[in-house]
Structure 1
Amino acid sequence: MAENRRRGSAPDKEALAALGTAGTSRLRKAAASDVVTELAGQQTAAPAAPAPATPSPAKTARPAKATPKKTSFYQMEEDADRMRAAYLNTQMHTRYRSLSEFINAAIDEKVSALEKDYNGGQEWPPLAAREIPQGKPLGS
C-alpha cells in the first residue's frame, strides 16, 4: 500500500481488505441537530440584490503578460558558433539565463544605437511580421 501512495495512485482495494479497513465504516451518520431542523422550517427573506461588480484596481492595473514569439533568421554557421561560445563563456559574468535572453539583449542594444543615430533616440513605429518586403536582398 505504501508503494502505491508513493506513485500517487489509489490504494489497492485488496490490500485494504486484507488489513481489515475495506469493510463498513466505523463512522456513523450525524443526526440532524435541532437548530438545523428549526431553521429548515423557517421562511427566509429574499436575498439582497448583489452589489454591482467593480473590478479591483489590481486586476485592471496589470496589463496582460506578453508571451515571446519565435523569430527565425539566417546566420552563417561560423557566426552562430561564435555567438554560442560568447554566451556560454560569459554566462557567469553577464547572468543571461538563456541564449534567447542573450540574443534579445544584443538586438536591443543594436536597435537602441540605430534609433539614437538615425531617429533622434525615438522608437520607430513597430512593424508586424511579414511587413518587410520579401525577395532579393537590397543591393543584389
Structure 2
Amino acid sequence: MTPVPAQGKTEQLHFFVKPENAARYRAAFLATQHLDGEEAQSLTDFLERAVLRETRRLERKHNGGRQWPPVPAGVLRTGPRTTPKPRTTPKEGL
C-alpha cells in the first residue's frame, strides 16, 4: 500500500540534505513520475510519501503500529548538528 499524504492544509518543513542526495531525489522523481502506479504529483509529494512510508515502518517496529503523539512545531532543534555524531562501533584498541 502506497502511503498517501493528507489532503488539504499543509505545513512547511525546512531541512537540509546533501547535494548529491537532493540530485538523486529529483532524478528518481523525474524518471518515474510518468510510470503507472507512481502517483506522486510533485517532488514535495514524492518526498512526503517516502517519509510517511518510513514513519509507518518505525511505528510498526517500535510502537505497535500506533502513531506517536504529535510533536508541535518549534519543539525540535533545527539546523545542522552542533555536537559530534555518536560512534556506533567502538574503536579497536580501546
TM-score, shorter chain, exceeding 0.5: yes
Q: Which runs of 5 or more structure 1 residues have no equivalent in the other structure?
A: 1-64
- Cα 1:96–1:66, aligned 2, differ >3 Å: closer, same or farther? closer
1:80 aligns with 2:22: yes
Moved over 6 A (4+): none
- Relative to the length of structure 1, the TM-score reads 0.49
Q: Which runs of 5 or more structure 2 residues have no equivalent in the other structure?
A: 1-6, 88-94
- Name which of 101, 108, 117 aligns with 2:52: 108
Computing the radius of gyration from Cα coordinates, the structure with the larger value is 1
1:71 aligns with 2:17: no
Percent identical among aligned pairs is: 30
* Higher percent of residues as helix: 1
2:41 is matched with: 97
CA distance, structure 2, for counterparts of residue 136 and residue 115 of structure 1: 28
1:117 Cα deviation (Å)?
A: 0.5
- Relative to the length of structure 2, the TM-score reads 0.71
One-letter code aligned to 1:103: L
CA distance, structure 2, for counterparts of residue 125 and residue 78 of structure 1: 33
Q: Which has the higher contact order (CA 8 A, sep 6+)?
A: 2
2:82 is matched with: 136
Give secondary structure in 1 for the equivalent of 2:33: helix
Give secondary structure in 2 for the equivalent of 1:89: helix
Pairwise CA RMSD: 2.1
- Cα 1:88–1:136, aligned 2, differ >3 Å: closer, same or farther? same
Give secondary structure in 1 for the equivalent of 2:69: coil
Tell me the alpha carbon deviations over residues 71-90 of structure 1, each in whole angstroms, 9 at most, x when there is no partner.
11010000000000000001
